[in-house]
Amino acid sequence: MRHQIALVLLVAGVAVLLLAGLALLRLPAPYLRLHALSPASSLGAPLIALALAVETGPGRGAAKLLVIGALLAVGGTVTTMAIGRTTLRREEADRT
C-alpha cells in the first residue's frame, strides 16, 4: 500500500517537472517563462522528495528527505524572485 502511494506521488512530481520543462521551451516572453520555473521547484521537486520519504518509511532518512524538499521549495521561490528582478533591471538598462 505504501509503495503504491509513493508511486502515485512520484508520477505526479515527474509530470509537474516534465510540464515545466515543456513550458520553458514553448513560452516566448521572459516573464512568462518565470511561471514555468516556480511550480517546478515549489511543487514538482518537493513531491518527488515526499514520494521518496513515503517509500523510506518513518525515521531519520525520511526526515532528511523532507528537509531537502522544504529547502528546494524555499530556494526555488527565492531564485524565481531574484531572476525576475534581474530581468527587470537588465531591461531598464537596455532601454536607457
Partner 1 sequence: MNAWLLAAAVLLVGAVGPGAVVALRGPAQQRLLGASLAATAVTAVLLLLAQGFGRSSYVDVALILAVLAPTGTLVFTRLLAGDPSGAEN
Question: Which stretches of the chain bind partner 1, using CB under 8 A?
Answer: 7, 10, 13-14, 17-18, 20-22, 24-25, 30, 33-34, 36-37, 40-41, 44-45, 48-49, 52, 55-56, 61, 64-65, 67-68, 71-72, 74-76, 78-79, 82-83, 85-87, 89-90, 93-94
Cα distances (Å, whole numbers) of residue 12 to 45, 67, 81, 85 = 10, 19, 25, 30
List all residues 6 or more positions away from 57 whose beta carbon is below 8 Å from its beta carbon: 2
Task: Specify the residue, 1 or 25, whose C-beta has the smaller distance to partner 1.
Answer: 25
How is 27-44 classified by DSSP, letter by letter? Answer: --SHHHHHHHHHHIIIII
State the minimum distance, in angstroms, from the CB of residue 96 to partner 1: 9
